[in-house]
Amino acid sequence: MNYYDKVKQELTNLLADFGNASKNFDASFKRLEEQEKGVIQLAKERQVGFPWLAKAYAEFFELQDKNIIDFLQYKKHSAISASLIVKEQSRLRREAEKEKKIAQYLVEYYERIAPFLLDLKEEVDIGTEQEREFLKEYSEEELQDAATYYLTKEEYRKLPTVERNQMALDRFWKRPKSKWLIGRLYERYVGYLYEKDGYDVEYVGIFRGFEDLGRDLICKKGNDFIVIQCKNWAEFRTIYEKHVFQFFGTVFQYKDENKDKKVRAIFYTSTKLSDLARRFSKELNIELKENFKFDREYPAIKCNVSMVDGTKIYHLPFDQQYDKTKIENGRGEFYCQTVKEAESAGFRRAFRYQGNKSK
C-alpha cells in the first residue's frame, strides 16, 4: 500500500471515530461559530486595524483546526500522516482567509469614508458568451461599427443605411443594460436638459469616472455655474445624509476654487432622500430633484457640424465619439430622435474611427 492509499485508509477509519465523538464536536463547533460572529462584528466596528483583525480571524480558524489535528494525532489509533496533511491545508486556508479579510476591510473602510465608491459595485456588462460568439460572424472591419452589436450579419449587410442604423438604435434602447451604462445615460439625459436651456455642459462623471469627486456635471451659462450630482438608483434604495455631506464637500471645494463665480448645487436622483438627508440638503443650500426619472424617448442623436470643413455628421448613443461631441445650437447643430431626421437634414453617420469608409 503506497503513502496516499495509507492516508486514505486512515481517513476512512476516522469516520467511525468521528461518529462516536460527533456530539462533543457539534457543541464545540457551535461555540466556535458564535465566536466567529463576534470576530466579524468586531471587524465592522474597528475597521482601521486591518492586519491585526485579519490575523485574529486567521488565528480563530487555527484554533478550530487544531481541535481536529489534535484528535487525529492523539486518538487511540493515531493518524499522523493524515494530521500532517490537515495541518498544511489548514495553514493554507488561514493565509487565504487572512488576505481575503484584509481586502474586505479595506473596501468597507474606503466605502465608509467615500460613499461614492459604492458605485464601483455596479458591474459593467461585458456581454454573454453567446453574444461574443455572435460577433465572430463579422469581419474585423465591420466590427469597427458599434451597430454590429445590435444587428444580425444579414441585417447589417443588406439593409439600407437609414433602416440599418435606426434598427440598431431601437435595439440599443430596448436591450437590457448594465447599471453602469444606465447611470451614464442618466447623466447624459440631465446634461441634455441643461444644454437645451443654453448651458455649456461639462460631463465630468463620464470622462473622469470615479475621479469626478461626485461632480457628475458642471453646467455653465455666463456667470452662472451649477454643480450637479446624478444618482439613478433603484426605487427601494434611499439617499442618506452621508451622500449629501460628500456632495457638499466637493461643491464647497469647487466654490473655493472659483470664488468669482456664482455656484449652485443640485442633486438629481431617481429615488428619494431620507428625512434627515433632506433637512441637511436644505440647510446646506443643495437643491433636490427627487424621483427624477430618465426619459428614454428623449432625442439622443447628436447632429454636429465640423468646425474644420463644415461636414455634417450625426452620432448615435453607442458611437465612439458621442460623449466628446458638443452640440451648439447657434451653429446649426441639434439633437434629434430618428436617423431619418438626421439624414434628411443632410447629416451622415460618422466615419469608422479605424477605417476610411462611411458607415
Taking phi over 0 as left and psi of -120 to 50 as alpha, with beta for the rest, 184 belongs to alpha
Q: Find out whether 235 and 271 touch, Cβ atoms under 8 Å.
A: yes
Determine the 3-state secondary structure of 227 from DSSP.
strand
pLDDT number for residue 329: 77
pLDDT number for residue 35: 60
What does R_g of the chain's alpha carbons equal in angstroms?
Answer: 30
Geometric angle at alpha carbon 158, from 153 and 159, rounded to 5°: 105
Q: Find out whether 330 and 339 touch, Cβ atoms under 8 Å.
A: no
Q: How many CA atoms lie within 13 A of 185 on its CB side?
A: 23
Determine the 3-state secondary structure of 216 from DSSP.
coil
The three three-digit cell numbers of residue 231, written as one number: 444618482
The CA distance from 272 to 254, in Å, is: 25
Burial class (CB in 10 A: 0-12, 13-18, 19+), 162: middle
How is 23-62 classified by DSSP, letter by letter?
A: HHHHHHHHHHHHHHHHHHHHHHH-TT-HHHHHHHHHHHHH
Walk me through the domains of the chain, giving residue ranges and CATH numbers. 3-113 (no CATH), 129-174 (no CATH), 181-289 (3.40.1350.10), 301-349 (no CATH)
The three three-digit cell numbers of residue 304, written as one number: 454636429
The CA distance from 9 to 150, in Å, is: 59
Q: Find out whether 101 and 43 touch, Cβ atoms under 8 Å.
A: yes
Q: Report the candidate in 249, 279, 276 with the shortest Cα–Cα distance to residue 265.
A: 249
Geometric angle at alpha carbon 228, from 216 and 260, rounded to 5°: 110
DSSP 289: E
Determine the 3-state secondary structure of 309 from DSSP.
coil
Q: pTM value?
A: 0.61
How is 95-134 classified by DSSP, letter by letter?
A: HHHHHHHHHHHHHHHHHHH-GGGGGGGSPPP---HHHHHH
| CA distances for 83 relative to 24, 26, 74, 255, angstroms | 19, 20, 10, 66
Which own/partner pairs from 329-332 qualify as long-range (CB within 8 Å, at least 24 positions apart)? Answer: 329/198, 331/305, 332/305
pLDDT number for residue 59: 63
pLDDT number for residue 14: 56
The CA distance from 247 to 261, in Å, is: 18
The CA distance from 43 to 248, in Å, is: 29
| CA distances for 140 relative to 135, 144, 146, 292, 352, angstroms | 10, 7, 12, 41, 12
Beta strands 301-305 and 334-336, pairing class: antiparallel
pLDDT number for residue 359: 38
CA 342 to chain centre: 33
Per-residue pLDDT of the chain (359 residues; tens, 9 = 90+): 555 565 556 656 655 555 555 555 555 556 656 665 665 555 554 444 455 556 665 666 666 666 655 655 555 555 556 666 666 777 777 777 777 777 776 666 665 555 555 555 544 444 455 555 555 666 777 777 888 889 888 898 999 999 999 999 999 999 988 888 898 999 999 999 999 998 999 998 887 755 556 789 999 998 899 999 999 988 888 999 999 998 999 899 999 988 888 999 999 999 999 999 999 999 999 999 999 998 888 999 999 998 888 899 999 999 988 998 989 877 889 999 999 999 999 999 986 533 334 33
